[in-house]
Amino acid sequence: MGKLRNTGLFVIVIGMAMSGCKKELDIEYKDIAPITVIEGEVNQNGARVRITMTTPMDEPMDTTALTDAVVTLTDLTAGSSEILDTDEYGNYRNSVAGIPGHRYQLNVERPAESYTSVCEYLNPTDMLGLEFNWIKMPYDYVAVLQVTFTDNSENDGECYWVRLYRNGKAYMWNLVT
């Protein structure tokens, strides 16, 4: 009888634990003026810069590129400078390959706004291996991608962005430190 009472009490406690409370959260987003977003890269194929504006949280994402800027890329190490032209997608581009070890300065001039950024094109990281497997989990199979690379000890504190594509379209980004 004592065992049956304990089992009944256990079922009641588990039942209470599994029944949850539900509370609606009404999150109020602060309205702020749109902010200019500048995304740029220099790599072995040249430079690409995209300029957009932030979108309020309660509106659909607007990824329209802004093309009202003068974008200049300067190789501070070599002393050369080039104005980037827009392509058919609104990206500012050039085809001058970046050089590892060189420092670059990006200048973006928009009406009543000016932005400058300086960075160094670091030496590439050596990838030693890339392996893809499906592993069985209790609920399903999971795709596992294992990448092995060497870290450049000269650049302590490096971070890596991992960009995954699914069926040719951007799927996920992740920061690896």
pLDDT digit string, tens, across residues 78-96: 999 999 999 999 999 999 9
Start-to-end C-alpha separation, the chain: 58
84 in Cβ contact with 94 (< 8 Å): yes
In the prediction, which pLDDT does 36 show?
93
pTM: 0.63
Higher pLDDT pick, 144 / 68 = 68
Q: Burial level of 47, CB count in 10 A (0-12/13-18/19+)?
A: buried
How would you label 54-77 residue by residue, b for 16+ Cβ within 10 Å and e otherwise? eeeeeeeeeeeebeebebbbbbee
Six token digits for residue 72: 């200049």
- Residue 93 CA to residue 39 CA, distance in Å, equals 12
In the prediction, which pLDDT does 115 show?
97
Six token digits for residue 64: 């329209």
Task: Name 16's Cβ contacts closer than 8 Å, sequence gap at least 6.
Answer: none
Share of the chain above pLDDT 90, in %: 41
In the prediction, which pLDDT does 51 show?
96
pLDDT exceeds cutoff 90 at 121: no
How would you label 25-42 residue by residue, b for 16+ Cβ within 10 Å and e otherwise? eeeeeeeeeeeeebebeb
Q: How confident is the model at residue 8 (pLDDT cuts 50, 70, 90)?
A: low
Least confident piece of the model among 6-10, 27-31, 44-48, 83-87: 6-10
Most confident of 1-10, 13-22, 74-83, 136-145: 74-83
Going by C-alpha positions, the residue among 35, 38, 33, 46 that lies closest to residue 109 is 38
- Residue 82 CA to residue 72 CA, distance in Å, equals 6
In the prediction, which pLDDT does 84 show?
96
